[in-house]
Amino acid sequence: MTILLTGAAGFIGSHLTRQLLAAGHVVIGLDNFDDQYDPALKRQAIRPFIRLANYRLVTGDIRDQALLAEVLSQYRCDTVVHLAARTGVRASVHEPALCIDVNVTGTLALLEAMRVSNVRRLVLASSSSVYGNSSFVPFREDDEANGPLSPYAMSKRSAELLAHTYHHLYGFDVACLRFFTVYGPRQRPEMAISKFTARLLDGKPITLYGDGSTTRNYTYVQDTVTGIIQAIHHLGGFDLLNIGGMASISLSELVHLIEQAVGQRAIINWQPAQPGDAQSTCADLRQAQARIGYYPSVSIKEGIGRFINWYKKQALNQPIV
């Protein structure tokens, strides 16, 4: 299988690349190396793949439809995994136009490039943020998801709807995967677990928003990658699927787990809740289990331990963010 992977140098993309290459697939990695976080970290993440025979790196933007069509045709791609996005709920509140341009216009450009290149298989990265503050808990894929709380959430729901349109009009086989707070080695520096760990180890205060009662379903990156690969192999029709972790925990509980793993108490700077943040996320995984055989295997406690071990070995030589 020859797969065009957008956002290939990112956190999830680099982990997925390793698994796909190990399984014998050809990966055409596309990334624009934007400055949402240090591009050097992205280049470092894909360095092990550059000289491999079944890997090609293309530097480019998903909004460049002509480039996308050229790549799809040149490398005879048969499947697309679309991870590239302008990420972050809070970032999207400050830069809504950029978020929507990349995540919606970029997805449309990709779909059009696929159409003209006759590529009809797509796995699309969506987000649990599409559920907003849904009253239906755990979150199920048949929720209308029509109450986004941020431009980021709206952009991801819009991308899902665009993909459905191309499924309906042109027969695309699509799986929209709603990721639930992915973490693990090489997690983006601004995300909670990475940032809390860095500041705690550096003896600096960590900032928490709200009262610590917000809950999240955290998903270890290897489970997320497994979900993506399962979706690739079960593409057919149109699917919306939750790809989440084993359970949800509160923000206060998360900090406690990090404290335990690091062996140090956190200094906490409490701040008011932030606009756009959901009160909770909780994944109903029954549809993903039935449709693609997805079962997460890494608990949050085990995953935090793995992340801290990696961080101590690898990241302490890098700047603390």
**Six-digit token string for 243:** 């790809």
Strand extents, DSSP E, the chain: 2-6, 26-31, 55-59, 79-82, 121-127, 173-179, 182-183, 206-209, 215-217, 219-220, 238-243, 248-250, 268-271
CB atoms near residue 319 (< 10 Å): 9
3-state secondary structure of 53: coil
Catalytic residue among 37, 131, 152, 166: 152
Contact 116, 144 (CB under 8 A): no
Query: Rounded to whole angstroms, how far apart are CA atoms 128 and 145?
Result: 10
Q: Does 183 participate in catalysis according to the annotation?
A: no
Neighbour-count burial for 165-186, b at 16+ CB within 10 Å, e otherwise: ebbeeeebbbbbbbbbbbbbbb
Query: Rounded to whole angstroms, how far apart are CA atoms 20 and 27?
Result: 7
3-state secondary structure of 6: strand
Cα-based distances in Å from 64 to 71, 107, 125, 297: 11, 10, 19, 38
Please name which of 185, 136, 205, 126 lies closest in space to residue 160, comparing C-alpha atoms: 126
Q: Angle CA(213)–CA(241)–CA(188) in degrees, nearest 5?
A: 55
Q: Catalytic site residues?
A: 152
